[in-house]
Structure 1
Amino acid sequence: MKDGAMRTVFLALALFAAPTVLIAQEAARYVSAKDLAAKVAETKDGLVNVTIPTGPGAQVLIARRDRTGLVEVHARLADEFIVQAGAAVVLVGGRVEGGAETAPGERRGGEIAGGTRYPVGPGDVLWIPAGQPHQVIVPAGGSFTYIVAKYEAKPAS
């Protein structure tokens, strides 16, 4: 083989072999529906949320509310709700009046003026973009269980 052809063969082998070397061997994570339900069986002050095991860079929680939550605004995180049980209305958008910053990029409390009401129940999915005020409104005597996947906001390309 000529030197140029030999280099091409070695380069091709290196390119195809490299991805298999870089793949991390990570164990799968499993939590049964029964275990998830047990984690949110009891609330404290009308709320419980528990982190669900995920991979690097992901944040997923299961939450149960037995009463209406505070207004929340996450400057850098979008939320995706996947409803498991119960019913609620999620108020999204509008303008927050009052409230306070509880951590960098996080606000809680106050009231939402305007916004859109989304009635949600089991099987429903609701995406809430970063920076949008939102509040979970649980009917009196009701309960609402949902999975929340949090995504870091990326600038539009």
Structure 2
Amino acid sequence: MVLYRAGDMAGAITQQHKELIINERCLGLDHPDTAHSYGNMALFYHGLNQTGLALRHMSRKLLLLSLSCGPDGPDHPDVAATYINVAMMYQDIGRRNIALRYLQEALKKNERLLGVEHIQTAVCYHALAIAFNRMGAYKLSLQACI
């Protein structure tokens, strides 16, 4: 993460790839840290405008979260947070309808799991407001803020 923030994208990718391999081998595929490593790798690739590769890593993260979180995996708050990241990636490449579906699903999960007044739920509303704004749906954007 330090290398990424310092602008050394190649170094960040290399180090993140090493962490990912270590986590897979030492902790296993069903460990949350392994899923988190895939998420970080995805964010790094997205930062390099390699969104297709980033989305593949996010898909892997979602799969691993379903393994690591047990039968309730799809209803884990980390899944909702990952949905928001996936939505932002789709939004950045102009796939706003797909982004909107991920954001709406994240909002449903957060409201059900964390409640309507939780900060993560508020993050979903904020992301929805941005998505609607970018789509030119200003009334819906305003409604998401209220």
Which structure is higher in strand share? 1
Higher relative contact order (CA 8 A, sep 6+): 1
TM-score (norm 2): 0.29
TM-score (norm 1): 0.28
Which structure is higher in helix share? 2
